Chains A and B, each alone.
Chain A
Amino acid sequence: MAVEARRDEPEAEGPGGGEGAAGPASDARRVVTLVAREHGPYLGRCLRYLGVTEDELDDALQEVLIVVYRHAARLERHQELRAWLYRVAWHVARAARRKTRRRRARFVLRGSSIEHSGDCGTEECVHEAAEDPERAALAAELRDALDRLPAKLRDAFVLHHVEGLSIREVARVLGCGRQTAHDRVRRAAERLRCLFEGNARETGS
């Protein structure tokens, strides 16, 4: 990571120095902006495939960027920024999934139904789907299938195959051994294949 913080600088103007003033806060904002523009689209995709619902996606990405903001001055410690970012995204996604699960359970208990918002209602997604409906349909199929996998398998699969992280990085992000990560990716792919084949048979018959 090329970002290096200078710790031997004199005192900043003060907390009330105004948002436009140069200072740690404005540095952090710049770091966030750069990181977001470089990695934001991919982090968004990662969150989406890790099970964050579309209506929570912006908030989840914001959470990730806030963590970047908080760590902006210390990012030089993270030699592998990408893996670190994905780790943060993974934590955020897990929290979002838990929240969605709880909310859904609450709705079920109350006797009302809540639709899984796998569909994206935002303008951009509608536009995307209209642009390339086939791709959008395939991606939606994958998301639906991923929803049916155990979280551990899903996470490993998404990080490795969708996000392109190496097994070593996946292991680091998930905090497990390499062999475990490899195993999860393989098992997830197997299960997905079964799911898709089953769907195809049902559709065919």
Chain B
Amino acid sequence: MKETERTEDRDSRLLEGVRRRVEAARRDVLPPERVERVVRRVVTGPPPPGSGGALGGAGIGRAGLGFLAGVAVFGGVMWFGFGRDGPGERVQGTEPPRGRPEHEVSLGEGDAERMLQAPRLSQGEERAQTGRSREEAPEGDASGPGRPAASGPAARARGRDGTAVPARPMHRVAGERPGRSAEGRAGERTRSRPDGPGGGAGTSSEYELLLRARVALRQGRPAEALRGLREHRRRHPRGLLRLEREVMRVEALAALGREREARRLAERLWNEPGTESYRHRLRAALRSLKRR
């Protein structure tokens, strides 16, 4: 009601010549299907190439099928788990509310709690274990979205709370369908390579390898992290998360005290295109060397 009054008040102030066009613009919301598609890109990655579904992709081996089955299981778990937990009606229904969004997400208290009840390593514990803390991202995350999308590797596998972070969208390349996540593209790329990643394990394994290495690094096991990174390099020599891997190598080498190697690698990375967003990490790693 209040919202309606406010809108009317605003309209009365709006100049006549502009009003009709603004009204037309207000109905110009993005179609739900398109939003759904983007959400899928963020939360699960795109479907494999070939509209024949999971099995339509050419050259998908046994491990590839395993990966696809994993994705299907994940989708099922999310879908049905959500339906059971409460906000199912809204989540399962593909139609978003037509009205104006409220100031708050209209999740019930219970829903939100259930959503976030999954066990996790608290930040405090994590920091205590790793002995490191990260800078808080500014509100509104101006730094993240403000950067040009192509300025870094398309994905960053590091979230503040140790979770996998989905890939950033990159510049599209010619002939590519718009709206593919970098993660998905990596999957496609790796699938299409003859020497595919670990027998076609896909991007998830690329992520997982790096995430395992990262956790090892954060928990003070740099040698293990380095082994994981080596494995990543072997399986995904030109993977999408290559830069992330190299930066982590610098961090692991620094943590091991292998100064010369760390410095050499950091110097090489410093001027490589796309490493701008990693420089603070390189700097921090080198600074930690000086403190030794």
B-binding residues in A (CB < 8 A): 1-16, 18-20, 22-45, 48-49, 55, 57-67, 69-71, 73, 75, 77-84, 87-88, 91-92, 94-95, 98-99, 122, 124, 128, 134-136, 138-139, 141-143, 145, 160-162, 164, 166, 189-190, 192-193, 196-197, 200
List 21 A–B pairs whose Cβ atoms lie within 8 Å, in order of A's numbering. A2-B105, A4-B113, A18-B74, A24-B163, A29-B43, A29-B78, A30-B115, A33-B78, A40-B35, A41-B31, A42-B29, A45-B28, A45-B29, A61-B38, A63-B144, A70-B141, A71-B141, A84-B139, A91-B142, A134-B24, A143-B25
Query: Is B271 in contact with chain A by the CB < 8 A criterion?
Result: no
**Are B42 and A66 within 8 A (Cβ)?**
yes
Report B-chain residues with C-beta under 8 Å of the C-beta of A145.
Answer: 21
Give bound CA distance, A64 to B42, whole Å: 10
Report B-chain residues with C-beta under 8 Å of the C-beta of A61.
Answer: 30, 35, 38
**Are A196 and B24 within 8 A (Cβ)?**
no
With A32-B42, A95-B145 as known contacts, state yes or no: A20 contacts B25, CB within 8 Å.
Answer: no
Report A-chain residues with C-beta under 8 Å of the C-beta of B32.
Answer: 37, 40-41
Report B-chain residues with C-beta under 8 Å of the C-beta of A87.
Answer: 139-140
Report A-chain residues with C-beta under 8 Å of the C-beta of B82.
Answer: 30, 33
User: Smallest Cβ distance from B255 to chain A, in angstroms?
Assistant: 18
**Are A20 and B101 within 8 A (Cβ)?**
no
User: Smallest Cβ distance from B75 to chain A, in angstroms?
Assistant: 8
**Are A24 and B161 within 8 A (Cβ)?**
yes
**Are A33 and B121 within 8 A (Cβ)?**
no
Report A-chain residues with C-beta under 8 Å of the C-beta of B211.
Answer: 15-16
Which of B78, B123, B137, B146 makes the CB contact (< 8 A) with A7?
A: B123
**Are B164 and A189 within 8 A (Cβ)?**
no
Instruction: Encode contact with A along B86-113: 1 for CB under 8 Å, 0 otherwise.
Output: 0100110000110011111111110011
